[in-house]
């Protein structure tokens, strides 16, 4: 939601619902608050999904395609710089040696995907529950409200998104992973693939579990004194579930990835001084817009090899259209999410506004 701060408003350091997320008073609308862009994206997707569901089918791959430029790919391509700064590495070869563990995990994920695409895809979806949920918990301040608030929000968010998608339309939800499996250089029909009816039943269990965990998280945040946060979390869970239930599966996950996860992760990097600031470019105290642009610049060294990988994946999938590019993006994320997630666990908490007051 948009937050208006009068010029004279002081942001307290303790006890305020928003104290861990608001920037210093500026008297302007904060377009880079933790919920502004995500709620805008989710609201638009909900509206289109309810009023024109057929349109979401035609637009299904485009959120993933747009994400390649806007937030999606840059937030991961920044890992080259993030890894170097977290461990104090300088010089290309030193950085490359330090990045070798990341590359080995990518290679291992690719080998597993080629060998058992169905199993690997399910493991990727399970990891996505953690990855999406943990980013959201950090962005809305649930990390500060205790383990119950944090971890229940993590699982609730991931379960509600992916479970609603597979409960609503398991065939279309699994279609990108089936296409990836079909492109493998092995006899993919001999490899295990999930029964979609069983997957749909498990999705309903995931929805029920997500609802319970969402309520538990809200209660924990309420007991921590953050009543408004608890209420807003529940509203956001509802938006996510509505998008996942009414919008084409590929479009729903793409909208969440672009407007919620990738935006919040980019915003976190832009609000972490150890990542965004250095002696040559001291932007730590500049505007959040300038810092987000800087994150895109920091991602450029890894963007070239990423583009090559995507081109190769599109060739592998026998297509160069928007849908093929979206599926290629998903295949790339299957290969990269594990090292990306493990690297993200080493990030320090954001210490710059608006993620930190």
Total domains in the chain come to 1
In this prediction, what percent of the chain has a pLDDT beyond 90? 63
Residue at 105 is within a domain? yes
Buried b (16+ CB within 10 A) or exposed e, 282-301: ebbebebeebbebbbebbee
Residue at 55 is within a domain? yes
pLDDT tens string 236-275: 999 999 999 999 999 999 999 999 999 999 999 999 988 8
pLDDT tens string 33-67: 889 999 999 999 999 999 998 999 999 999 999 99
C-alpha–C-alpha distance, residues 270 and 317, integer Å: 34
User: Which residues are within 8 A (CB) of 314 and not within 5 positions of it... i.e. 6 or more apart?
Assistant: 320, 324, 325, 328
Residue at 29 is within a domain? no
Structure confidence at residue 278 (pLDDT):
67
Structure confidence at residue 69 (pLDDT):
87
Residue at 5 is within a domain? no
Per-residue pLDDT band for 7 (boundaries 50, 70, 90) equals very low
Residue at 289 is within a domain? yes
In this prediction, what percent of the chain has a pLDDT beyond 70? 87
User: Which residues are within 8 A (CB) of 298 and not within 5 positions of it... i.e. 6 or more apart?
Assistant: 78, 81, 275, 276
Residue at 9 is within a domain? no
Residue at 121 is within a domain? yes
C-alpha–C-alpha distance, residues 156 and 162, integer Å: 10
Residue 246 in contact with residue 53, Cβ under 8 Å?
A: yes
Structure confidence at residue 18 (pLDDT):
33
Which of left, alpha, beta for 225 (phi over 0: left; psi -120 to 50: alpha)? left
- Whether the predicted pLDDT of 90 surpasses 90: no
Domain that holds residue 130: 36-344
Residue at 28 is within a domain? no
């Amino acid at each position: 939601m948009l937050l208006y701060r009068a010029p004279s408003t002081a942001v307290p350091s303790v006890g305020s619902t928003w104290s861990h997320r608001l920037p210093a008073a500026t008297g302007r609308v904060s377009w880079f608050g933790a919920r502004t862009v995500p709620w805008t994206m989710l609201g638009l997707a909900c509206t289109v999904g309810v009023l024109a569901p057929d349109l979401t089918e035609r637009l299904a791959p485009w959120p993933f395609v747009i994400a390649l430029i806007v937030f999606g790919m840059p937030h991961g391509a920044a890992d080259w710089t993030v890894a170097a700064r977290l461990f104090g590495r300088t010089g290309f070869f030193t950085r490359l040696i330090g990045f070798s563990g990341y590359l080995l995990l990518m290679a291992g994920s690719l080998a597993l995907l080629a060998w058992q695409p169905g199993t690997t895809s399910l493991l990727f979806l399970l990891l996505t529950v953690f990855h999406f949920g943990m980013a959201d918990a950090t962005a809305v301040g649930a990390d500060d409200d205790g383990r119950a608030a944090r971890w229940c929000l993590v699982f609730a968010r991931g379960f509600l998104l992916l479970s609603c998608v597979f409960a609503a339309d398991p065939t279309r939800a699994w279609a990108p992973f089936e296409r990836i499996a079909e492109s493998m250089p092995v006899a993919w029909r001999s490899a295990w693939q999930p029964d979609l009816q069983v997957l749909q039943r498990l999705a309903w269990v995931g929805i029920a579990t997500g609802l319970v965990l969402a309520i538990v998280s809200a209660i924990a945040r309420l007991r921590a004194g953050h009543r408004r946060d608890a209420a807003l979390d529940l509203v956001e869970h509802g938006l996510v579930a509505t998008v996942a239930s009414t919008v084409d599966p590929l479009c729903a996950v793409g909208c969440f990835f672009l407007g919620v996860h990738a935006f919040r992760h980019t915003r976190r990097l832009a609000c972490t001084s150890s990542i965004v600031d250095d002696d040559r470019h001291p932007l730590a105290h500049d505007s959040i817009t300038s810092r987000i642009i800087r994150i895109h610049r920091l991602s450029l060294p890894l963007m070239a090899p990423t583009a090559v990988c995507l081109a190769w994946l599109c060739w592998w999938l026998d297509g160069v259209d928007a849908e093929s590019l979206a599926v290629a993006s998903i295949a790339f994320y299957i290969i990269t999410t594990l090292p990306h997630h493990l690297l993200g666990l080493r990030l320090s908490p954001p210490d710059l506004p608006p993620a930190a007051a």
